Structure 1
Amino acid sequence: MAELFGSFDRGQIDSDIVARTIGLHRVAKKMYAALPEGSEEKAILDAYADGISQCNARLVTGDEKLSSAMVALPAEAFQPWDGADILAVARLQSENLSFTGTEEIAQSEFNAKALAAFGTPPTNPRAGILVDLIRFAPLEASKILSGFPNDGAHTQSGSHTLPLAAAHTKPGPAVHVPLSAFAGADAFIDAERKQRSILGERPFTGSNNWVVRGARTTTGHAMLASDPHLTLSAPAVFYMVHLNVTDAQGDKSKNLNASGLAFPGIPGIILGHNDHVAWGATVANYDVTDVYSEELTPDLTAVKFKGQSVPIEKIRETIKVGGGDAVEYDILNVPHHGPLMPQIADHRPKAPDPAKGAISIKWTGMQPTNEFAAVLGFMRAKNVDDARVAMRNFEVGAQNWVFADTDGNIFYSSQSKVPKRDVRAFTGWNPSTFTGAIPAFVLPGDGSAEWTGFLDEAYIPHAKNPPGDFVATANNDQVGITFDNNPTNKRLPNGDPVYLNGLGYDAGYRHARIKKRIEDVGNRMTLDEMASIQSDARSAVGAALTSKILEALQRAREATSTTNPELAALVAGRPPALFDEIRDVLTRWGTETNYDAASGMSPENNQPVDNAKEALASKATVIFNAWLVRMIRATFGDEFAAMGVTRAPYDLRKLLVDLMTADPSTLATKEALFDDLGTTAKVETRDERIVFSLLDAIDYLNGRLGGDRTKWRWGALHTVSFDALVPLWGRLSIPPSGDPVFPNGFPRHGDGYNVDVAAYRIQVQEWKDVSFSYSHGPTQRFVIDMDPAGPKARNALPGGAIWDNRDDNPHFRDEAELWRRNKNAPVSFTHDDVKTEAESRTLYTQPQRAK
């Protein structure tokens, strides 16, 4: 990226430093070298790379043309590929799905800053801020299975119900990493997030999938729905492919007939179906990355490990920079852990200071595996049992996979390499005092918190044809290990202590909502009903917090200068009719629309809709969300400023809901976090902060949307654009830059934690001018009926089949038009149907070779 665009954006150098540090290209070369000569996987990779190389050669010669909108892309950018290049792209996708090194560093830095700002003395009312803010428990306790499976024979049906009792614990090492060790970390974290944003963003997850058996469907067939959420870009992250291949030598075991989504640069169907089996995936969120605090020797040549000095390896890297000098440097690698995080200053990597220590990163994806074999196995599976066997090759990039077959079976698994750790890495953790070690934060690098192997498949959450005849996943806690706010005190069925994850799971609202929608159908489900769940936009945060607003508003109206002078002063001078209107809108939002986060704007002409119910829901949604960002700032802004924090460790919505729905007497800080550190003359209460933020939100909306509140609509602020990957290519965005009807993007429903997530980003420093637009959502709207006579699939992508708008190509954005209206279209699968539906056909023939 730096070689291509470094002259326009020096930050691309930082992203390249991150990629080189993690070593995607190094492990890809090892993966390719490990494939046996003559293997089918290697042959396919080589053939695919050859096809890319041929196309690139034609681009260099000018025989193939790019869109004229793709400016500043030189012909020499198009180089030959080999099989290792493909595996590097695949590892990039795995990194996006499972690498959490930067999150763990950022969270640990946040912890250190909190301790430095507020300490631990009981006289400081904010000393317990970490206990109250960093909570592992979800907002809604909704799990995929009833407990860990115990499936040594690998024939699991249903799930093994096991009370998650506390395991025996012994003190673990406390890890107090000095702030000095995080010097330069912010630049590394920002660069990794920028690199990742090409595909998706964490921790704001939003993927969903579910499978339903025939007992719950109108057709009597198994059905599957899948809408993985990644970056909404142009071109789309995935594109549609149908592979129908007959082996030239007549070996039917090598035939392929699979349809679905492919990832650019990787052969095969990663999500989709064949004649017999369909599959979908959501990120499983297992913690497969650890960061370690390393003690360095004074000469920076070794680390201390188990009482010995272990030499540091040096890996030389050269980053070419367009319009500048190349960056040459050494990656410092700890052999038993991984690379040391470099300090990035002025777009140059800087070695750590031995006196301050350093942080190393270990990730399962740094060792070679063979996920492509799993994908190839999915495409040829005859039933869910075949798919399960194939899935054993999927070791990095853990997913919650769901499968349905034409025999009526459904299967769920989260198969992956999940590290087993020395119990000292987690059994001494105490969430009530925020002491001890836990793999969610920096661990000691002295050898006391090492990986000891990987979790046996028998215990990795999975189930075939479970009770209830359906399985749903939504990035949530699989078996409930975090529900008591302590993910370290659980045991496997064999009695072993286990740690799967800490802070990475979703809040639980989406999974609970999907389950409720399936269970509340009241009849056998149709494919339309399956698809309608993907469009669900109920505001879970609105449902959780609106009553708190109404209660505070009522108390403010009843306040006097004697009973509550701060509240009375806030509402003084405001017309009573304003409060009546807000109370009415927010109350009816729940009673009449069930907190539907409606857009309220027409997807056709971007004008306010006249439908009274949608208009009500839209007005309430915009008031609530304008209040939400201000309430977050009013609550956490002063503490974050005192800590010197510019970014939240994870979604601020969850922090606020946790704080506002808790009994204040149970909080370590009581109500101290609602008090503003900047106003020493008075003590702000939760009610005061709520009303202050609400009135400020109304003033903001008056200025942004106008004084006629009957025209306020959420979709006027909450929009989505599918932006071109390179900002210079704005004409290839959807809608294009400067679009006269949708200048700010398409109006959309949703506000975060909905099934159709649509979560805009919130940071405390942006509360005045937060952008309510978003860029992360479903990269397909896929539903399928597994009819034995032939699967019936529907889908829609956020884009089009052709990323080129020359001559107003109708397929540049036709899928996007379906997607943004929450619709889908049938996808032809049989040869006859494809032939009938085809607009045109291109036949490529191979010339006969002379004998």
Structure 2
Amino acid sequence: MPRSRALRVLIVVALVVVLALVALVAVAAAVVRRPLPDHAGSADLPGLTAEVSVLRDARGVPTIEAATAEDLFRAQGYVHAQDRFFEMDYRRHVTAGRLSELVGENEDALAADKVIRTFGWRDVAEQELGLIDESTRRYLQAYAEGVNAYLDSRSAEELAVEYTVLGLQVDVAHPEPWDAVDSLAWLKAMAWDLRANYDDELARGLTYTTVRDVARVDELFPRYPADEHLSIVAAEADGSDVASTGNAVLPADLERALADAQAALDAIPTLVGEGDGVGSNSWVVSGDLTASGAPILANDPHLAISAPGVFMQMGLRCADVGPQCPFDVAGFTFAGFPGVIIGHNADLAWGLTNMGADVTDFFLERVDDETGTYLYDGERKALDVRTEVIEVNGGDPVELEVRATDHGPLVSDVLDIASLAGSPTPTGGRGGRTEVALAWTALTPGRTADAVFRLNTAAGAADVAAAAAAFAVPAQNIVWASTDGHIGYQAPGLIPIRQRVTDGPVPSDGSWPRPGWDSRYDWQGFVTPQDLPAVQDPPEGYVVAANQAVAGSGPFLTNDWDYGYRSQRIRTLLDEAIEAGTPIDVELTNQMQLDTWSPFADELVPALLGAPVADEFTEEAVDLLRDWDGRQTADSSAAAYFAAVWSTLLELTFQDDLPESVWPNGGSRWLQVVVNLLGDPDNPWWDDRTTVNVVESRDELLSRALETARLELTVQLGKDVRDWEWGRLHTAAPQHAVLGGGGIPAPVRELVNPQPLAVPGGSSIVNATAWDAASGSFAVTAGPAMRMVVDLGDLDASTWVTVTGTSGHPGSVHYTDQFDAWAHGDTFPWPFTPDAVRDAAGRELTLRPAS
């Protein structure tokens, strides 16, 4: 063939390939863009009594204005479904234990379904529907009608691209109608992820099974440093049981039972966040100390980094605010639930942080499988047994036998894993085994839904207290400020009362797994709301609630607090501004939220610099710490090296002694542990048990950590320490819950997962971008899901940002249009008054009553 002809043939073939690729890309783009909703024009919404306006700003943030409260929430349901229905659908499948119906045969999905069916989240939500206020039921029903109106005229593929992708593997039916219980069940997921000391209680038990020394276990769970880190409420510390177990007498098969329980509970997907990094910052400052002369409130909840982020910004406004339609509120919403979770109205702003109260207990039960009974006060009681059927998309149904004691469902045998059997344990006359039941306040039907709407319309301390009285789970610190100049704090939550047992095998304060066979360890009811700590207009002129101890003179809440490094740093920054006579404004408050000073550096660097270094190669890295200002900025070489040293030190010191499931994650508890150990250079924890016939001391492990970290970062970041940067290691990578993980084709993952961004901060730092020191990675595991600052003197001067964006559609510009700003610490204006909202609006959708 002549060369010219051959060339023409190649060109034609190449052109055909290019055209095919272009066509494929065009088809893919069309599929991705197909579910994008109309944010302008008009649409019919059945059930409305009058037209509803939905104004959206440059970031797609909607403000809804309606004539009645029911119209308002009906429109909110429609708007949530527009932007985030797949997220809502995924959540309701999870909370009902029906994830396998959505994603098909998947081991992780089935494991989650088994555990959640065992808990019965949706069953509890169904009971709550009959307990809540009649007005709340109306709002939930109107919200559901709005969601369903959007679903009715669209196929699954028109609702979300996720259904198109899932449809390649399983049958995707049109989503079921939304109902009020779907919304209530979502509160159970939020409560589960924010359940406080569950991890510490389990970790104590598992640590004891390998260490077999109560005093050494206590060293890993030190007391809160109350003399150094002030509590939220300035009063005497709340009393508690004796921390040490004395001579613990625990079942021989404890390790297996607790390991099985942990495996089961870890199967529940993270919907909000979990682990040491989950917490929050909040503070409120009196107008006497601010530039505007009115209070300023700041809040940034630290939750899992997900795509889309858990919060969606929104404004909800009645056209004529009054008793019949009392809402004029803006803030952060959960898609799937009506109202605003955190935000402000025209009279009051509020923020939430995890209080950390102990609302879960593991009860060790002596179960006899042959008789279907468990031991209780020397007698045997029958287990409650029911059968659940889990439908699997494309597979056979799975039957699950759920068993429970009076303390709660048995969770140590949910997954049918090989280690289930357990070893025989004496049970007072019959053979049996130790199993684990979980008592949890969220399994008691409550009225948290009422609390949301009460906060949305609150105007002062009495209203906040009334909302808190209904706020059963999760137990959250509420900080608030009002436009008439008051600031305050209120503790809500359903808090168990535990009887003091002085001669039992373990403390009765809820810090250890409890003997279910001894009724003295049973819960004795719940604390009355009026007895929970509260404060208004404290003399120091501010309140800081950042997961530290609550204290006060109220009831015992827990001993397992965050150790207060963040809260104390915030107090320090406020005190410095006050002492300097600097009026606190929105800009300064935003800067405080971005503070990267590390308490780890302050506590540990002097000891590291005192350790012997054997070679110049390591000394080059150690020199970074000599000049370090202790700030973990993204461009800091010293911060990168310190983080590597810290994770290595924890590995060398503790991993040889502990089960893998409780290896140190590097959070505030572990900082306190190591700080305490530094004063005891020959403590047995410093000894590396893997080195035979050698007993290491503190300085030897510090030196080894410095040397090992230098070698590791040389491999990861290069030989020249000046090229190291914390942000090259520490990145935020939001991940899609269904399509973002392993096993998903790369093009799909790239579509749904935003590109990772370098971020400053770290664990127990005010800019709290946590990472897990036991994971082998420095990537962010939890961080500020949003940041907000509210100026009660000029609400339109307030600022906000979310971790990703308002939209849940990967094809939308609003899917990630706030992510870069969030990573770099920027925020956006937060218009609130009608004129400001109108001026900021770029699009308007009018929802009309359907004929």
TM interval, short-chain normalised: 0.7 to 0.9
* Residue in structure 2 matching 1:18, options 115, 118, 125: 115
- Note the alpha carbon deviations across 1:503-556, whole angstroms, 9 max, x for none: 3x1121000000001111121101111111111111111221111110013xx4
Distance of aligned partners of 1:650 and 1:87 in 2 relative to their CA distance in 1, 3 Å threshold: farther
Distance of aligned partners of 1:287 and 1:62 in 2 relative to their CA distance in 1, 3 Å threshold: closer
Displacement of 1:146 = 4.9
**Superposition RMSD in Å:** 3.2
Letter in 2 for 1:802: S
Alignment of 1:545 with 2:604, yes or no, is: yes
Distance in 2 between residues matched to 1:471 and 1:406, nearest whole Å: 16
Distance of aligned partners of 1:143 and 1:461 in 2 relative to their CA distance in 1, 3 Å threshold: farther
Distance in 2 between residues matched to 1:840 and 1:743, nearest whole Å: 26
Structure 1 residues not aligned, in runs of 5+: 121-126, 148-160, 481-491, 557-570, 601-617
Give the structure 2 partner of residue 383 of structure 1: 460
Give the structure 1 partner of residue 534 of structure 2: 462
Q: Is contact 1:139-1:654 (8 Å) kept?
A: no
5 Å-filtered alignment, 1:266-665, equals 266-297=337-368, 299-335=370-406, 337-345=407-415, 355-424=432-501, 427=502, 436-445=507-516, 446-479=518-551, 492=553, 499-503=556-560, 505-521=561-577, 522=580, 523-553=582-612, 556=613, 571=614, 574-575=615-616, 578=617, 580-589=619-628, 593=629, 595-600=630-635, 618-640=636-658, 645-648=659-662, 651-654=665-668, 657-662=671-676
Letter in 2 for 1:846: P
Distance of aligned partners of 1:163 and 1:819 in 2 relative to their CA distance in 1, 3 Å threshold: closer
Displacement of 1:737 = 5.1
Displacement of 1:724 = 1.2
Letter in 2 for 1:675: D
Matched residues, percent identical?
A: 25
Distance of aligned partners of 1:135 and 1:163 in 2 relative to their CA distance in 1, 3 Å threshold: closer
Distance in 1 between residues matched to 2:747 and 2:226, nearest whole Å: 35
Distance in 2 between residues matched to 1:348 and 1:54, nearest whole Å: 47
* Residue in structure 1 matching 2:829, options 802, 813, 826: 826
Distance in 1 between residues matched to 2:341 and 2:368, nearest whole Å: 46
Alignment of 1:797 with 2:815, yes or no, is: no
Distance in 2 between residues matched to 1:130 and 1:544, nearest whole Å: 22
Displacement of 1:103 = 4.9
Distance in 1 between residues matched to 2:303 and 2:218, nearest whole Å: 31
Letter in 2 for 1:816: F
- Note the alpha carbon deviations across 1:127-186, whole angstroms, 9 max, x for none: 842132232334983233455xxxxxxxxxxxxx3476789x899997633352453643
Distance in 2 between residues matched to 1:750 and 1:677, nearest whole Å: 33
Distance of aligned partners of 1:733 and 1:376 in 2 relative to their CA distance in 1, 3 Å threshold: farther
Alignment of 1:89 with 2:186, yes or no, is: yes
Give the structure 2 partner of residue 210 of structure 1: 283
Distance in 2 between residues matched to 1:651 and 1:63, nearest whole Å: 42
Q: Is contact 1:102-1:192 (8 Å) kept?
A: no
TM-score by length of 1: 0.81
Distance in 1 between residues matched to 2:343 and 2:243, nearest whole Å: 46
Q: Is contact 2:171-2:394 (8 Å) kept?
A: no
Alignment of 1:840 with 2:843, yes or no, is: yes
Displacement of 1:415 = 1.6
- Higher mean C-alpha deviation, range 94-103 or range 705-714: 94-103
Deviating 4+ runs (over 6 angstroms): 163-167, 169-174, 347-354, 663-667, 729-736
5 Å-filtered alignment, 1:148-159, equals none
Distance in 2 between residues matched to 1:474 and 1:451, nearest whole Å: 28
- Higher mean C-alpha deviation, range 5-14 or range 55-64: 55-64
- Note the alpha carbon deviations across 1:255-285, whole angstroms, 9 max, x for none: 3111001112111101001111101000000
5 Å-filtered alignment, 1:734-753, equals 745-753=756-764
Q: Is contact 1:184-1:344 (8 Å) kept?
A: no
Letter in 2 for 1:705: L
- Note the alpha carbon deviations across 1:606-657, whole angstroms, 9 max, x for none: xxxxxxxxxxxx11111111111111111112222xxxx1122664455653
SS of aligned partner of 2:783 = strand
SS of aligned partner of 2:161 = coil
Give the structure 1 partner of residue 21 of structure 2: none
Q: Is contact 1:724-1:730 (8 Å) kept?
A: no
Letter in 2 for 1:758: T
Distance in 1 between residues matched to 2:625 and 2:353, nearest whole Å: 33
Q: Is contact 1:722-1:733 (8 Å) kept?
A: no
Distance in 2 between residues matched to 1:478 and 1:260, nearest whole Å: 26
Distance in 1 between residues matched to 2:229 and 2:354, nearest whole Å: 16
Give the structure 1 partner of residue 785 of structure 2: 779
Give the structure 2 partner of residue 609 of structure 1: none
SS of aligned partner of 1:814 = coil
Q: Is contact 2:160-2:809 (8 Å) kept?
A: no
* Residue in structure 2 matching 1:32, options 106, 125, 129: 129
Displacement of 1:758 = 1.2
Q: Is contact 1:203-1:651 (8 Å) kept?
A: yes
SS of aligned partner of 2:222 = coil
Distance of aligned partners of 1:182 and 1:699 in 2 relative to their CA distance in 1, 3 Å threshold: closer
SS of aligned partner of 2:462 = helix
Count of paired positions:
740
Distance of aligned partners of 1:314 and 1:747 in 2 relative to their CA distance in 1, 3 Å threshold: same
Distance in 1 between residues matched to 2:323 and 2:838, nearest whole Å: 23
SS of aligned partner of 2:519 = coil
Distance of aligned partners of 1:665 and 1:202 in 2 relative to their CA distance in 1, 3 Å threshold: closer
SS of aligned partner of 2:130 = helix
Give the structure 2 partner of residue 221 of structure 1: 294
Distance in 2 between residues matched to 1:95 and 1:713, nearest whole Å: 36
- Note the alpha carbon deviations across 1:392-426, whole angstroms, 9 max, x for none: 111221111011110010110112221111111xx
SS of aligned partner of 1:841 = strand
Letter in 2 for 1:197: T
Displacement of 1:55 = 3.1
Structure 2 residues not aligned, in runs of 5+: 1-93, 425-430
TM-score by length of 2: 0.81
Distance of aligned partners of 1:436 and 1:380 in 2 relative to their CA distance in 1, 3 Å threshold: closer
Distance of aligned partners of 1:29 and 1:146 in 2 relative to their CA distance in 1, 3 Å threshold: closer
* Residue in structure 2 matching 1:241, options 314, 329, 351: 314
Letter in 1 for 2:675: T
Displacement of 1:235 = 0.9
Displacement of 1:443 = 1.0
Distance in 1 between residues matched to 2:763 and 2:507, nearest whole Å: 33
Displacement of 1:113 = 2.4
Q: Is contact 1:731-1:737 (8 Å) kept?
A: no
Distance in 1 between residues matched to 2:368 and 2:714, nearest whole Å: 61
SS of aligned partner of 2:125 = helix
Distance of aligned partners of 1:551 and 1:187 in 2 relative to their CA distance in 1, 3 Å threshold: same
5 Å-filtered alignment, 1:115-134, equals 115=212, 128-134=215-221
Distance in 2 between residues matched to 1:348 and 1:844, nearest whole Å: 56
Distance in 1 between residues matched to 2:211 and 2:807, nearest whole Å: 49
Q: Is contact 1:717-1:773 (8 Å) kept?
A: yes
Displacement of 1:34 = 2.8
SS of aligned partner of 1:260 = strand
Letter in 2 for 1:43: R
- Note the alpha carbon deviations across 1:59-91, whole angstroms, 9 max, x for none: 436664536885447532611122112111112
Letter in 1 for 2:452: V
Q: Using CA pairs below 8 Å that are at least 6 residues apart, which structure has the higher relative contact order?
A: 2
Distance of aligned partners of 1:621 and 1:179 in 2 relative to their CA distance in 1, 3 Å threshold: farther
